[in-house]
Structure 1
Amino acid sequence: MSDPAIPATPHQVSRAVGHVALGAWSGGRYLHFGEPLDEERLVRLLTPDEGIHTLLTADAYGAGEADRVVARAIAGVPREGVSLIGAVGHDFYEGEREGAKGFPRFTDRRLRGADAYADYLRMATERHLERLGVDQLDVLLLHNPDRTGYTSPVVWEALASLRDDGLTAAIGVAPGPANGFTLDVIACLERFGELMDWAMLILNPFEPWPGELALRTAAAQEVAVIARVADYGGLFWDDVRPGHTFAERDHRLFRPGGWIEAGVDKLERIRPIAARHGLTPMQLAAQWDLAHTPVACVVPTLIQEPGGRPIEEKRAELAATPSQVLLSPEEVEEIRAIGDNAGSMVLKGATPDHDGEIMPDRWPLETDLVAAGARWGIDAERDLAATPQ
């Protein structure tokens, strides 16, 4: 059990990031989850208040359009009243969208060499700030890096320079978009942990694996963690049930068949723990995340399901999540055992399941990554491979 508040590193001088946050990907307007909200409704959803004052956005969402919506949401709010987390890394300025893969990473060799990384990051961050209408981010994340992004000193020194020059108060890494990248994150934390302040990982009671494997490294490097996908595809909001109908492009269609039925069964098993503490299932999931060192912030996706609960009601529920962890260590472990998903999917990044050339989101399991895992008791073949379910 740990206090969710993480002691500040020498670089963590920004205003406090809240224990719960909203992502601009919510509401289905830029990423396809549920019914897309109209812009006015999304602006209202994202407007900071006493309950939730931390917002996350990425410059690639809507090729900058999400930034402009966030700018509208924070207009008139005192700067000290909002904690703003941004992300750069996908080059929609010079790169061409590659279908469902999205825009290439800025480190793509087809776009530029290492000598131009710093210039790109500064340009992208300045444009990010301009669209948001602020002079400084509270946190700047490297968004969905490829292998180069995890390993290049040029990239991380450039990000540190942006912090030193006041464009952001803190920097970090945001792996994704799919689950995995475990050894890549661990090795990145080992290499550049002294420069980094934050990391964002997928973590929730029904998906403890593999994100939990990187938590000890983050804690050792005094890097705070933002837990995303805390809602488990919307299941913890309690309005996704067997027979649920998804729109044609809904991202949850990529989940394996039967995930809702299995998840609802698990949900019923943990519901008594939630009731014991006066928590909703979503609040329980957030509390479970916050019970782990060094998780300091939880950011679920707010989804307007067809015929489901109003998304504004979900926002109020998230805002009411206690910041102090209520769960006992025994309850945390009981929930984890119920939700254990080890081996349930083929992971992204470096994994034993990949054999071939380097791709933007998958690459071979190299010796340095195997060694990084071993230093933390992780056997890649045993702990990171997909297994028949």
Structure 2
Amino acid sequence: MDLTTTAYGTWSGGRFMHFGETLSEERYKGCIQLAFEAGFRTFVTADVYGNGKADELLGQALSGIDRKDYCLVGMLGHDFHKGQRQGNRGYPRFTDPELRGPEGYADYMKSACEKSLEKCQTDHFDLLMLHNPDEIGYTSESVWSGMADLKSQGLSERLGIAPGPANGFTLDLIHCMEQFGETIDWAMLILNPLEPWPVGLALPACEKHGVDVLTRVVDFGGLFFGDMKEGHEFKPGDHRAYRPEGWVEHGLEKIEKMKSIAERHGLSMVQFAAIWNLSQAPVKSVVPTFIQEASDQAKPIEERIREFAVMPELRLSAEEIEEVKAIGDNTGCMMLKGASKRHSVSERPDEWPMREELFELADRYGLGTEW
């Protein structure tokens, strides 16, 4: 099964990424089961979430469902088997030279994939993505030949790339598709009406190379679900508390300007955000973060899951897409990850210096020189 237009991610529910309340294990699995009952047919997980626990709970939740009736998307990239956690930076990528060289990539990926599949209680992924790659992941022939081996061995029907964890990587992604495009079927990218930049710059290249796009953070940190109001207080440790001060109020002001378009089509605001994404080639699937907000007035997460599952088939016009993009324009609002002129050496696994071929690529795609 290929990906469906709506997908459910195992980072929802606060157990493995800290957004809102942390669901109990049983309620967490119940939400996955509810998602299937409500109409979701694509489920996305990553082996590093909970060091395999997310895979395990997903496998338990879907264990009574025929494997042919859902699409399973997996991700691998962080070595939590041999690597040591590095504080807030998480586990190192498996391509970290301190862990192994290129000759060990294929064996690691096969082992990690098989362990993830075992926890998910299945023998194959419908799509397996390289998760949060470092510079080596974007550029290494050994990495992508190892990914291709997993497909040829029947461990995954399709292959993809999931840049992150923060926003950026535009030039790196396009260069990777130019180098290994025959291997890459899907990319998972951050896109929503309040964050049209920088992913909008990469969409034409994805379409050119035949790479379908799964968009995450379509809800913009939960703002499009409507539970968050001005002055929203986040629980200690909530990832969203580290965003710039005033982001909730600023986002709500922009959402208010978009409401007439959503109402014109009879859409809730989170449906509107998803439809805006899906109206752009080559976006084919959207995956939100379902959050149980820490507020007595917040709707139950289960209600949010049901709401998102009922997604109309309509698409916005080119004029409406541009109108929304203008309202939500966030160009230059953040320091982007990936290749940048800010760096002369690679200091972190998500930031590295620009290379000459990336300058050439930026010029060829008309993406400017301010990287």
Using the size of structure 2 for normalisation, the TM-score is 0.97
Distance, in Å, in 2 between the alignment partners of 1:254 and 1:69 is: 28
Partner of 1:372: 361
Of the three residues 250, 255, 260, the one matched with 1:267 is 255
Please give the per-residue CA displacement for 1:112-133, whole angstroms capped at 9, x wherever unaligned. Answer: 0000000000000000101111
Q: State how far apart, in whole Å, the 2-side matches of 1:321 and 1:351 are.
A: 38
Distance of 2:369 and 2:106 partners within structure 1 = 33
CA distance in 1, matches of 2:197, 2:341: 15
List structure 1 runs of 4+ shifted beyond 6 angstroms.
none
CA distance in 2 between counterparts of 1:352 and 1:378 reads 14
Q: Counterpart in 2 of 1:45? A: 31
Q: Which deviates the most, 326-335 or 282-291?
A: 326-335
1:108-187 paired onto structure 2 within 5 Å:
108-187=96-175
| Deviations 1:312-360 (CA, angstroms, capped at 9, x unpaired) | 11101110112x2331111111111000000000011112344443420
Residue 194 of structure 2 aligns with which residue? 206
Aligned to 1:314: 304
How do 1:285-364 and structure 2 match up within 5 A?
285-307=273-295, 308-322=298-312, 324-364=313-353
Instruction: Provide, for residues 72-116 of structure 1, a one-character-per-residue CA deviation record: whole Å limited to 9, x for no partner.
Output: 111110111110000001000000001111000000001000000
- Structure 1 distance, partners of 2:98, 2:196, is 36
Aligned amino acid, residue 349 of structure 1? G
Q: Quick one: distance in 2 between partners of 1:352 and 1:312? A: 45
For residues 171 and 376 of structure 1, do their structure 2 counterparts lie closer, same or farther at Cα, with a shift above 3 Å needed?
same
Matched with 1:9 is none
SS at structure 2 position matched to 1:200: strand
Shift, 1:253, TM fit: 1.9
What is the alpha-carbon distance in structure 2 between the residues aligned to residue 365 and residue 93 of structure 1?
31
Q: Is the 8 A contact 1:304 1:311 kept in 2?
A: yes
Equivalent residue for 2:216? 228
Distance 1:353 1:347 in 2: 10
C-alpha contact 1:346 1:353 (8 A) present in aligned 2: no
What TM-score results when the alignment is normalised by the length of structure 1? 0.93
For 1:250-261, list aligned pairs within 5 A.
Answer: 250-261=238-249
Q: Give the match's secondary structure for 1:27.
A: coil
Q: How far apart are the structure 1 equivalents of 2:341 and 2:39?
A: 43
AA aligned opposite 1:223: V
Residues in 1 aligned to 2:7 and 2:369: alpha-carbon distance in whole angstroms: 32
Aligned counterpart, 1:11? none
What residue ranges of structure 2 are gaps of 5+ in the alignment? none
Distance, in Å, in 2 between the alignment partners of 1:173 and 1:336 is 25
Taking only aligned residues, the RMSD between alpha carbons, in angstroms, comes to 1.0
Distance in 1 between residues matched to 2:44 and 2:285, nearest whole Å: 11
Rounded Cα–Cα distance in structure 1 between residues aligned with 2:330 and 2:289 = 20
Q: Give the whole-Å Cα distance in 2 for the aligned partners of 1:370 and 1:234.
A: 36
From 239, 252, 271, the counterpart of 1:283: 271
Q: What is the aligned length?
A: 367
C-alpha contact (below 8 Å) 1:290/1:325 kept by paired residues: no
Please tell me the residue identity of whatever aligns with 1:252. R
CA–CA distance in structure 1, aligned partners of residues 98 and 240 of structure 2: 31
Deviations 1:259-309 (A, max 9, x none): 111100011111111111110000000000001110000001001101211
Counterpart CA distance in 1 for 2:167 and 2:251 is: 17
* Deviation of 1:55 (Å): 0.5
* Post-superposition CA distance 1:34-90 (Å, at most 9, x none): 111111111111122351111000000000000011001111101111100000010
